[in-house]
Amino acid sequence: MTDFDSFRRDWLGHLSAERRLSPKTLEAYARDLGQFAAFLTEHLGGAPTLADIAGLKPVDLRAFLGRRRRDGVGNRTLMRQLAALRSFARFGERNGKLGAAAFAATRGPRLGKSLPRPLEPASARAVTQAGTRAGEEREPWILARDAAVLGLLYGSGLRISEALSLARAQAPRSAGETLTVIGKGSKTRMVPVLPVVVEAIAEYLRLCPWRLPPEGPLFVGAKGGPLSARIIQLAVEGLRGALGLPSSATPHSLRHSFATHLLGRGGDLRAIQELLGHASLSTTQIYTRIDSARLMATYDAAHPRARGA
């Protein structure tokens, strides 16, 4: 074990305890640094030490990014990996172990500015209704469970991880209640729950064959254990075919739909930011671009002179 390995553990501990990054982000950053270490072992001819990393130049970092690109990694993943390496270098600089200049000087790939792709309101409602899947050979309680989860994504703007982390004791009992959600970076926010979603959760609880202790998960799998996000993703994949939805229709697109539809009906941008749990208003402002794009598309399609003479 080199000093790099022990320092990597210190860095991850710092990210968890002080930066309070989410478990998924920690997992991704740990994997990114592990891939970098594997590259350096080949690139330098041996397991890297902190002294090796301190001596790296931007050309070495570009070689790593180039290797990852040849492995088929996309621009967004490359940007995240570079962000992980910069974080590690900054931590090393603060502790007098590394310099961060080479990492800061390395430019990442350009990212295309793609807009989120929400569903149409009617499609979003259909995805969240258990009756849409009535013809499937699945137990009624599972269909009710999936509808309740998807209802929270569209009705309250939750991330799928946030919905699946809810405890049984948090289940709303009546209309007008709110949920306390722990989001990215362990940040807490309160979100309202629509009456129709309260009813969907109640129906799931009525049909669920498993005992759900208050401290246990609200949503469980077919064998009574914690529900996997992949199960909900597969459910939406099935609904894409049944409803003729595009491949962009995913559980997360329901969260995009929540924000876009609220904004389209006059919702306040700051309020939507709080409901989504965005740290920065600029992150939420992307939904104004979607609304503007839809407005112009409607104009081009409907106005008699929009397309010129």
CA dihedral 136, 139, 144, 150 (to 10 degrees): -60
Q: Which residues are catalytic?
A: 159, 184, 252, 255, 278, 287
Task: Copy the structure tokens of residue 106.
Answer: 């390395």
Contact 20, 97 (CB under 8 A): no
Task: Copy the structure tokens of residue 9.
Answer: 């553990």
Task: Copy the structure tokens of residue 129.
Answer: 């209704």
**Closest Cα partner for 2 from 35, 41, 42?**
41
Cα 204 from Cα 125, distance rounded (Å): 17
For the purposes of burial, counting CB atoms within 10 Å of the CB of 202, is it exposed (0-12), middle (13-18) or buried (19 or more)? Answer: middle
